[in-house]
Structure formats: C-alpha cells, structure tokens
Chains A and B, each alone.
Chain A
Amino acid sequence: MQTFYSDLLVIGAGLSGERVACEAAQNGFKATCLSIVPARRSHSSAAQGGMQAALGNCAKGEGDNSDVHFIDTVKGSDWGCDQEVARLFADAAPIEMRRLAAWGVPWNRVVPGQSFYFKGGEKFEKYEKEENEGLITARSFGGTAKWRTCYTSDGTGHAVMCTMDNRCAQLGIDVFDKKEAISLIHDGDKCMGAVVRDLRNGQLEVHLAKATAICTGGFGRIYKATTNAVICDGAGHILAHETGLVPIGNPESIQFHPTGIVPTDILVTEGCRGDGGTLLDVNEERFMHIYEPEKAELASRDVVSRRMTEHMRAGKGVKSPYGEHLWLDIRHLGDKHISTKLREVDEICHHFLGIDPRTQLIPVRPTQHYTMAGIRTNKDGAVYGLKGLYSAGEAACWDMHGFNRLGGNSLAETVVAGGIIGAKIVEFLKGYETTFDTKSINAEVKRQEERIHDVTHGRNGKLNVYEVRNEMQEALMKGCFVFRNKEGLEECVETLHGTMEKARKVGLVSDGVGANHELAAAMKLEGQVRLAMCIAQAALMRTESRGSHNREDFPERNDAEWLNRTLAYWPEGADMPDLQYEDTTPLFELPPGDRGYGGGKIIPADEKYVTERTVKSPVTEIGKKK
C-alpha cells in the first residue's frame, strides 16, 4: 500500500480547499489536495452569481463598508450566526477579492457613465463615476442594502476556480483527482490523515499529515431533489461525524430554492420571477397571490418554496414520471426579454428540457439548495473534538450563515474563510510536531479493507444500495423539507430508523472491482442516513421557526428559548444522535431584532442575557436606523 506524507492534507479541492492549501504552500508547507473529480469540476464552479465584498466602487454600492455587510449577514442569518465570525468575514472579504484580482480573476470592472438596470420588471438608470473607472464593480443580490456582489459575467465560480487552480499549479501543490477519502485516521485525540480509495483502480492508500482540512462542500444529495452536483453527497461530513467525537452544527438548517427544473433540478434564476414570471398550477392558474396577496411571486425564497409545497399538497401539482411539480410561466415576457435578460434560462430550457420558454411552460419544484449545516468548527476553523482537524467552506459550520445564507455570501465564504482558516492552520503547523503511530494507521486500514470485503461479498446482507438510498431521500423530502411539523418529523425519524437498519445490510450486485460506483455509494450510505437522522431529529426538537427552518406548529422565532446552535454528535454504536446546544454567539454587535422581511412574530430573548453580551460597536447605531 502506498503512503503519502504532507504537512497539510486537504480533502476536497474546490475553492475553499484550494484556498486553504495555497495559504499553507505560500508559507513553505507541503500541502496535498484530494478530490473525487478534477479540481475545476468542483461544485464551486457552478456558482454563477458572484461574491459579496463591500468594496463600494460602483454607483449603487456607494457608502458600503464592512459594517453594512456585517449587518446584512447577521440579519440574513436570522440571528443564528456567530457574530465574531460574521465580523471576520465582512472585514476580510474586500482584501480577498483584490487578492483574487492580483492572482488573475477577470472581475467585471466599473464602466463610467450612464447605464440602465431592471428591478421588478421596471427600468431605472444610474451613473458610474469617472474616477472609479476600472475598479472592481458589483451587482445587486437579494437581502443586501448595497450592490456588493463582485462577479465575472455569468461564470464567477468557474472563473475564480480556474484562477485558484492555476495558483495551486504555480505553488507546486499536489492536487490529486479521482481520490476519495473513506475514513479519518485518529487516536481519539488527534487527527493524522485519512484512508483513501483511488477511484481509478479501487486501491486503498494512506495519506498522513500534521493537519487535515475537510473542504468537501455541502450534502444536498441526501435529498432527492437538489440543485447540488452529484458529488455533494456528504462524504466529508461522514468522515468527521463517524469518529463519534465531532458534532454536526445546526443540522436542521438547510436552504431550499423554489425553482429547480424537473427532472434534473438545475436551478433557474429568481430573476424569472423578479422580471414578472408567474407560477401556475395543474390547471395553469396562478396561485401565489392567494397565499401572499402583497408580494405574490416576489416573496422570499423560503416563503415561495413553502407556498408551492402547500399548493401541491392541496392536490394542485402536475403529475409526472419524476414526481409532482408546478409550472413557471415566462411566455408573456416576450422574445426580446428572454433572449437578452434571461439568456441563461433560455439556454437551460433548450439544453436540458428541449422546450422554448417563449411558447412553453417550464416545469419547476422547490429543491434543496444549500447546507448551512456542517462540521462544527470554532472561529479559527478548528473542528470540535479532534486536534489537527480543520474545515472550511460549505462543509463547515464555521457559522457565518446561521439559519439562512444570503446569495453571494457562500461563494465569498469559500475564499475568505479559506484564507482566514488557512492562516490559522499555518500558525498551528509552525508550532506543532507529531508522531504517527502505525498501530492506529494499520487498524484503520484493516477496518476499511474489512468493510469493503463485507459489502462486496454481501456478508451483512444483500439489500440494494440504490433502493435504500432512495428510501432515505424520500423520507427527507416528505418530512423534512420546506415545511416541518411534529407529526411529519416524528414519522421521518421513525422511517429513518428503519432505513438505518437497512443501510447496515446492503450488499453489492456488481463485483466492486476497479472504479466501481456502487461500492462508493454503499460505503457512505450509513453515514448519509446518520446525517439525515440528525436533520430530522434536530428539526423535531427545535420548536420555533428561524430562517430556513419552518415549523408550521411553531411559527414564531423564539429567541427566549432557541437563541442557540444545535450540536449533533453520534456516539459510537448509537442509533440516535446525541443533541447538545451551545450559545449562538459569544457576543452581540447587533442585538437580536427584526430582519425587515419574511414577517413572523418574535418571542424576545431575556433582556439581561442580551445586554450582558452586547459590545460597543459602530454597527449598533447603524443597525437601529434600518
């Protein structure tokens, strides 16, 4: 068996993983990245919108600064984020965008003079200042007070990913693709690296490192309908979680998007509705105005997703071989609008549905989109429970998103957190020497070899991997989606108990030889069901509605009882997660208040609790004015 050694082993080579690796390599450490796909295929590259950073260069971004960005982020999180982390993020974001520009990102730039923009189908004009010509410009995104989202045309994630991967090549970082980490090597105290399966030939390898960082993105694929790439299957979370020592932070905090196309759940932009597109039911009748008379289709992501689900439950969904859906109608916007302002939507309809949105309806349904949930770390990115283990990006619950993530903040988080956490890892590596005990390594390799042998030979049972996986995905769709209530969640937990039993008894149909996919799916199945169970159980316990977590039976945001973060541990041999709670944030720059959108009642927190933790900050005053 081959053994590789480095100072820092990064599992996942998307934007956050490669950014962390760059920081270590720039400081003279040997960094290795592992990825199940070539780095540029990472899900980071699918992000089209942009990255939020308060540069304030463009006309509609004037007066923006990191305080305003901080406020938007905290409000967006529905006061579920760690405010120290949100502050670190907002302050560092502009510097990181400039650094990316120096490394090669072709950010769109300020063009001086008059130009036009659309808002809610209406045309407005703006003037860009001569003196700002050529500086990084920004576009508008939902939930922000200023135009703050830096972008490169319609391919921000792709462009930044190219630059980051180039930077890795320049720094001589080994980025190995088609490698999947299948378990962490640890001695109960410190992490020493990982056992890795080569997805070219199926061989196992050992990767040892002084520090290990998990940067594997989200786990949307445990839901049936998700906008996530097929690689976003939670494998990284499972590595950490199954040690029994590491908690998943806020597992109930999952974001949904109203308009994924059916059947493949590719996202069509909210711009469709923003520009005047409507949602129709099975009778081709509008319905959003019945539920939301004022905002109708323009209500926030979560609200629209909820209403769509409600309407389908009322029997108004369109039946299809891929399940029920509704229609998005943009026919009335006309050829000119569709071929210019909504070109991307036009292309998606053409390439993936074979329909013309000028004359035909687009099949859509609410779809899992983002996991604010993740491997719980402290503000340095160090994972709770194991020394030398770090996490960054969507994989982590670093926790700047709390219970709802703003558009443009996730892509920015990948590189900003990658930079901050990379620097902390460098600090750690500078003062750290370790020994690798062969006993732990050999024991872990042997355990994995046995697992592979057992599942390949059907030693534990012969249940079908894909059928059991489907059962899990459907249980989550049914009980743990945009709407949640006690009965649904209890049923979900019970179903998942059964699924867990089955997941332990799967056996391969194929021989598992070489680059076998069925084996890869089988190896992570039980871990996926554990994650699903954490979501359902944590959602059942959290008797309030906050951000993306919506309880029909508890519609209020309850700061008196639930101003905290769920930590879901999975003790060895257990059948249920062990849920613990910690304070949401050690301090308030911005004390809990109204977000200004989404409505809903708030049960206030204890005044003394808030006052004791509130620190003096320029934000306190700005925040009050809003």
Chain B
Amino acid sequence: MGRQLKFEIFRYNPERKGDVPHMQEFILDETPNMTLFIALNRLREEQDPSLVFDFCCRAGICGACAMVINGRPGLACQTKTKDQPGHIILHPLPVFKLVGDLSVDTGVWFREMYAKTESWVHTNKVFDPVKEEERMDNSVAEQIYELERCIECGCCISACGTARLRDDFMGAAALNRIARFVVDPRDERTDREYFEVIGNDNGIFGCMGLLACEDVCPKGLPLQNQLGFLRRKMGITAMKQIFRKK
C-alpha cells in the first residue's frame, strides 16, 4: 500500500462572488507511477469538481500544466508524486493573470510577446510553388530547432526576478524567440532592427542575471547562453550606433 498524500492547493475563483484566495487540503492514496496529472484529475473527478487546472498533452510536450509545485515552477504532468514529500503544495504560476485556482492565462501573454518580437521570418522573397526549395545547411536547421523547442509553459517567466518586479519585461522566452530568428538565415532583419525591439531595459538589459529561467526550464533550453549571446550582440550594436552618431 502506498502513502497517503496530503495536497494543499491554492483556491480562488475570480468569477464567484465573495470568493477569497485561500488554501484547501485534500487527501489522496498514492498509486504506483502516479503523476500530478493523475492525482489532480482524481481530485477533481472524485472529490471536488470545481477545481480548476490545465492539462493538455499530459506528456511534457505542450506546456499547459505549468504550476508552482512545492515552491518551484514545473510541469505537473511530468512530476511524479514519489519524487515529492507526502505533503504537496500547489500554487498557480505568478506573473500571469489568474484564471482560477491553478490555471493562469499564458495564451494572451505569449500572443503579446509574438507581436512585440514580430515573431516571424522577415523576408522580401515571395514563395514560388514551382521552384525547388532554398537550400540550408543541416547544422543551421538543427541550431534553429534547438531554440524553437520552447513550449511556452511560462516557467522561466514565473521564476524571473525582473518579470516579477516589472510587467513590461520581456523575459527569457521572448529573448530566446529573438535568438531563434537571429540565427535563421531566412530572416533578413539587421542587428539594428533587433536592437529596436530588445536593446533596452524591457529587453536584454533588464535581465538581473539571476538565471533561474534556465534552472526551471523543463525542456533544458540554453537560456543563459542566449542571454549572453544577445547581450554581447546588442552591446556591440549599441556601440556602433554611438560612434555612428559622432
């Protein structure tokens, strides 16, 4: 027989009149190979159907189920209860707008980020359906994919000191997104154009270098390296601009 798990879960439904944020306790028997995906669904289906949380792929691919698990942002679907103490405390991610209980609105945040970073290939070339595809070095393709693996779970933003102090900080996810286009030869934007977007305190110069973003990234993205890479690049761009003015 497994352990009896005690869950302490943040509860607040902003749509319910008079509701106030509070913690609620649940007890559940642990079963083999139990993940928080299984546990939370059982709690909702067997104990309290009003419990709000998000899951989608339940396989660590989509990023829907990020939450703060015993104080640390992570994906609930790939968190096994056996790796946690018998007392599991769950909070929604900070920074993002709360939808209810453990669910937050990452969709709107990320869509605004796409708009700010103009998250698409900027090119003047027009696609010609009868022509052979433009060639690309395979190592470049792999390099782009490495940066495109972000699942937009929001863990890095939630763990970011600057993002928690300031609403307008773009965060590691956005900077990683810019880096993805910087390495893509199809994107014709110049360093100066990128500088317009991230060469300020909302962008690359706002980072305090606490580096929690990479610590909590469930996909193990090289967020620190990208920060360093962009900061150097933008620093050089800034210097060039200063000298050009003189």
Q: Are B149 and A158 in contact (CB under 8 A)?
A: yes
B83, A230: Cβ atoms closer than 8 Å: no
Give the chain A neighbours of B58 by CB distance below 8 A: 229-230, 264, 266
A167 within 8 Å of B (CB atoms)? yes
Given that A38-B107, A46-B57 are contacting pairs, would A352 and B35 also be in contact in the complex, using a CB cutoff of 8 Å? yes
Query: When A107-B141, A511-B16 are in contact, do A264 and B127 touch as well, CB less than 8 Å?
Result: no
Interface contact A152-B141, CB-CB below 8 Å = yes
CB-contact partner of B37 in A202, A264, A322, A508, under 8 A: A264
A residues less than 8 Å from B82 (CB atoms): 354
In the complex, are the beta carbons of A513 and B15 less than 8 A apart?
yes
Determine if A354 and B83 form an interchain contact, defined as CB atoms under 8 angstroms apart.
Answer: yes
Whether the pair B135, A133 counts as a contact (CB closer than 8 A) is yes
Question: Inside 8 A of A1's CB, which chain B residues have their CB?
Answer: none
Q: Is the CB of A264 within 8 A of B145?
A: no
Q: How far is the CB of B6 from chain A (nearest CB, A)?
A: 20
* Interface residues of A, count at CB 8 A: 73
Determine whether the beta carbon of A98 is less than 8 Å from that of B52: no
**How many whole Å from A229's CB to the nearest CB in chain B?**
5
- Asked if A336 lies at the interface with its beta carbon under 8 angstroms from chain B, I say no
Q: Say if the beta carbon of B190 comes within 8 Å of chain A.
A: no
Q: Say yes or no: A106 contacts B148, CB within 8 Å.
A: yes
CB distance from A21 to the nearest CB of B (A): 15
Task: State whether the Cβ of B73 lies closer than 8 Å to any Cβ in chain A.
Answer: no
Establish whether residues A353 and B119, one from each chain, have CB atoms under 8 Å apart when the complex forms.
no
Chain A residue nearest to B61 in the complex (CB): A46
Residues of B108-140 whose CB lies within 8 A of A: 108, 110-111, 114-115, 118-121, 125, 127, 129, 131-138, 140
* CB within 8 Å for A40 and B62 given contacts A102-B125, A178-B99, A264-B38: yes
What are the interface flags for A126-162 relative to B under an 8 Å C-beta threshold, 1 for contact and 0 otherwise? Answer: 0000000111110000000000000011010011001
B238 within 8 A of A: no
Instruction: Contact check, A354 vs B33: say whether CB atoms are below 8 A apart.
Output: yes
A348, A353, A510 — which one has the most chain B CB atoms within 10 A of its CB? A510
Q: Which residues of A contact B111 (CB under 8 A)?
A: 38, 169, 175, 177
Is the CB–CB distance between B121 and A103 below 8 Å?
A: yes
C-alpha gap A133/B61 in the complex (Å):
31
| B78 in contact with A352 (CB, 8 Å) | yes
Rounded to whole Å, the gap between the CB of B78 and the closest CB of chain A is: 4
Known: A155-B149, A159-B148. A135 touches B49 (CB 8 A): no
- Whether the pair A230, B55 counts as a contact (CB closer than 8 A) is yes
Among A136, A170, A230, the one with the most B-chain Cβ atoms within 10 Å of its Cβ is A230
CA of A107 to CA of B80, assembled, Å: 34
Q: Which residues of A contact B38 (CB under 8 A)?
A: 263-264
CB of A38 within 8 A of CB of B152, answer yes
Q: How long is the Cα–Cα vector from A351 to B141 in the complex, in angstroms?
A: 27
Is the beta-carbon distance between B136 and A466 smaller than 8 angstroms? no
Residue A324 lies at the interface, judged by CB distance under 8 Å to chain B:
no
Interface contact B57-A515, CB-CB below 8 Å: no
Chain A residues with CB below 8 A from B145, complex form: 106, 152-153, 155, 159
Cβ of B132 and Cβ of A266 under 8 Å apart?
no
- Which chain B residues numbered 27 to 74 have a C-beta less than 8 Å away from chain A? 31-35, 37-38, 44-46, 48-52, 54-64
Q: Is B186 an interface residue (CB 8 A)?
A: yes
Among A99, A133, A158, A162, point to the contact of B129 (Cβ < 8 A).
A99
Q: A517 an interface residue at 8 Å Cβ cutoff? A: yes
Q: Tell me the smallest distance from the CB of A32 to a CB of chain B, in Å.
A: 14
Q: Which of A107-139 contact B (CB under 8 A)?
A: 107-111, 133-137
Q: List residues of chain B with CB within 8 A of the CB of A152.
A: 141, 145
Q: Are A102 and B57 in contact (CB under 8 A)?
A: no
Most buried by B among A200, A466, A518: A200
Query: Is residue A603 contacting chain B, with contact meaning CB distance below 8 A?
Result: no
> Which B residue sits closest to A469, measured CB to CB?
B45
A41 interface residue (CB < 8 Å to B): yes
Q: State A466–B49 Cα separation when bound (angstroms).
A: 9
User: Given the complex of chains A and B, what is the CA–CA distance between A231 and B58 in angstroms?
Assistant: 10
For the residues of B in contact with A, the DSSP-based class is: loop
A201 at the interface (CB under 8 A from B): yes
Contacts of B115 in A (CB 8 A): 169
Is A509 on the interface with B (CB-CB < 8 A)? yes
Cβ contact within 8 Å between A135 and B120 = no
A369 interface residue (CB < 8 Å to B): no
Identify B62's interface contact among A46, A178, A348, A516, CB under 8 A. Answer: A46
Say whether A431 faces chain B, with CB atoms less than 8 Å apart. Answer: no
> Does B211 lie at the interface of the complex (its beta carbon under 8 Å from any beta carbon of A)?
no
Chain B residues whose CB sits within 8 angstroms of the CB of A135 once the complex forms: 132-133, 135
| Contact call B15/A202, Cβ cutoff below 8 A | yes
Neighbouring A residues of B162 by C-beta, 8 Å: none
List B contacts of A262 (CB < 8 A).
33
Chain B min CB distance to A607 (Å) = 40
Report B137-175 CB contacts with A as 1/0, cut-off 8 Å. 110111011001101100000000000000000000000
Whether the pair B138, A134 counts as a contact (CB closer than 8 A) is: yes
Q: Does A280 contact B (CB under 8 A)?
A: no
CA of A510 to CA of B52, assembled, Å? 11
Chain B, residue nearest A266 (CB): B59
> How many whole Å from A194's CB to the nearest CB in chain B?
19
Distance, CA A133 to CA B140, complexed state (A): 13
Which chain A residue has the least Cβ–Cβ distance from B101?
A515
Minimum CB distance partner of A267 in chain B: B59
Q: Do A106 and B142 touch (CB < 8 A)?
A: yes
Q: A109's contact among B60, B120, B141, by CB below 8 Å, is which?
A: B141
Are A109 and B138 CB-contacts (below 8 A) given A353-B33, A354-B33? yes
Interface status of A443 (Cβ within 8 A of chain B): no
Residues A40 and B100 in contact, CB atoms below 8 Å apart: no
CA distance A175 to B62 in the complex (A): 17
Nearest B residue (CB) for A103: B121
B31/A178 in contact, CB under 8 A: no
A483 to chain B, nearest CB (A): 27
| B62: nearest chain-A partner, CB-CB | A41
Inter-subunit contact A102/B127 (CB<8 Å): yes
7 shortest interchain CB distances as A-B pairs: A134-B135, A514-B15, A510-B50, A177-B107, A38-B107, A518-B49, A106-B144
Query: 5 A-B Cβ contacts within 8 A?
Result: A38-B111, A43-B57, A98-B127, A352-B60, A354-B83
Chain A contact residues, CB within 8 Å of chain B: 37-38, 40-43, 45-46, 95, 97-99, 101-104, 106-111, 133-137, 152-153, 155, 158-159, 162, 165-167, 169-170, 175, 177-178, 199-202, 229-231, 262-264, 266, 320-322, 348, 351-354, 363, 465-466, 508-511, 513-518
Known: A103-B120, A136-B133. 13 other contacts (CB 8 A): A38-B106, A98-B129, A98-B133, A109-B141, A158-B148, A162-B148, A169-B119, A178-B105, A230-B56, A348-B59, A352-B60, A354-B33, A514-B15
